Amino acid sequence: MTTTNTTSDDAVREYLRAVDLRLGGLPLLQRRELVTDLETHIAAVRADRGAHSEGEVLEILERLGSPDVVAAAAYAEAGPSGAFPLPPPAPGARPYAADTYAAEPYAPAPSRAWVPVAIGLAIVTGLLFIAGVVALMFVARGDAASSVGPVPAPAEPYLPAPPAEPALPDGLVRPGQ
Amino acid sequence: MADVSQLSTGLRRGTLEFCVLALVEHEDRYGTEIVRCFGDERLAASEGTIYPLLSRLRRVGWLDSKWSESPTGPPRRYYSLTAEGRSALQHFRAEWVDFRRTVDRLVGTDHA
């Protein structure tokens, strides 16, 4: 029983890994999401049916489709802007079989190396822009303040003038004056 | 035989997604439920290809999803139809009826 479960779990792990390896050209979130969806699907069907034997698990995987087919659907649904399609698997690769997945080397997608750089540039540009706007605001305020200075106060200000300081008796000087 | 499977693949393309929308029109369903339904109906040769479709329908805003506990297995992701998805489905229904009538007339299946 334990041995059977382990074999079944291995088959599931290998299947998920094989799918994941084929999704290198997808946005990371989509890639993770699909693997999670498949993992959840397999676990749900196994729980519903009490499917633990290797044969039952392989049947679930068979119904899901080969990793190539599932990955191809993922690229097709990602749309032209969402994915950087990887070249198809080498011709002569063995068709769906639980023991073929682990042999696949992990191929990181080189075409996406620009993404972090682009994001970094975008962030720096954004920060510079904000800094510029803030600086401009300060300059504008400074200009406004200095240009208001010499202008005579309007005859009837909107706000009441601050209360006048009481007149000091002659001869007394306010501290600090 | 490759031509036959290509034909049905081509026919499914563009219509399958509306079958998904219709499936969750009146009640929310979880991923495995939707996927199994398409497998049983032979609408999807490989059930695993439905998950990328669900993902796209969510990204375009026609479906919404939320995780919920399950009494028997792992948490389930329930899908529901958004207002945009509902109007897309209505639009498809009108288009589909016209399209089907025209094709039936042209290929001689209108009394089949």
Q: Are both A102 and A128 inside the same structural domain? A: no
* A171 located within any domain: no
Q: Are both A97 and A121 inside the same structural domain? A: no
pLDDT band at B102 (very low <50, low <70, confident <90, very high): very high
Q: Are both A102 and A124 inside the same structural domain? A: no
* A124 located within any domain: yes
Q: Are A77 and B52 a contacting pair at CB < 8 A?
A: yes
* A177 located within any domain: no
Min Cα separation B79/chain A (Å) = 13
Nearest to A63 among B47, B75, B77 (CB): B47
Q: Are both A139 and A80 inside the same structural domain? A: no
Domains and CATH numbers, chain B: 2-107 (1.10.10.10)
Residues from chain A contacting residue B55 (CB–CB below 8 Å): 30, 33-34, 37, 74, 77
A45 and chain B: CB distance < 8 Å anywhere?
yes
- Blockwise average pLDDT, block size 10, chain A, 177 residues: 73 97 96 97 92 89 96 89 52 48 42 58 67 64 48 46 48 49
Q: Are both A87 and A143 inside the same structural domain? A: no
* A44 located within any domain: yes
pLDDT at res. A6: 81
Side-chain-facing half-sphere of A169: CA atoms under 13 Å: 0
Mutation choice for A interface testing from B12, B17, B46 by most A CBs within 10 A: B46
Min Cα separation B12/chain A (Å) = 13
* A138 located within any domain: yes
Question: What was the ipTM of the complex prediction?
Answer: 0.89
Q: Are both A102 and A121 inside the same structural domain? A: no
Domain containing A145 equals: 113-149
Q: Are both A67 and A100 inside the same structural domain? A: yes
pLDDT at res. B9: 78
Min Cα separation B59/chain A (Å) = 10
Min Cα separation A132/chain B (Å) = 35
* A26 located within any domain: yes
pLDDT at res. A103: 38
Q: How many folded domains does chain A comprise?
A: 2
Q: Are both A99 and A125 inside the same structural domain? A: no
Min Cα separation A10/chain B (Å) = 18
Listed residues A85, A111, A137: the one ending a domain:
A111
Interface of B with A (CB under 8 A): 30-32, 35-36, 39, 45-49, 51-56, 70, 72-77
pLDDT at res. A110: 46
The residue ranking higher by pLDDT, A125 or B98, is: B98
* A165 located within any domain: no
Mean of pLDDT over chain B: 92
pLDDT at res. A160: 47
pLDDT band at B15 (very low <50, low <70, confident <90, very high): very high
* A62 located within any domain: yes
pLDDT at res. A133: 64
Q: Are B54 and A37 a contacting pair at CB < 8 A?
A: yes
Q: Are both A144 and A75 inside the same structural domain? A: no
Q: Are both A29 and A101 inside the same structural domain? A: yes
Nearest to A77 among B55, B72, B76 (CB): B55
Per-residue DSSP letters for A11-50?
A: HHHHHHHHHHHTTTTS-HHHHHHHHHHHHHHHHHHHHHHT
Q: Are both A98 and A131 inside the same structural domain? A: no
- Show which of residues 98-127 on chain A sit within 8 Å of chain B, judged by CB atoms: none
pLDDT at res. B64: 98
The tens digit of pLDDT for each residue in B39-64 reads: 888 888 899 999 999 999 999 999 99
pLDDT at res. B57: 97
pLDDT at res. B27: 96
Residues from chain A contacting residue B60 (CB–CB below 8 Å): none
- Rounded CA-CA distance A154/A160 in Å is 12
Q: Are both A38 and A75 inside the same structural domain? A: yes
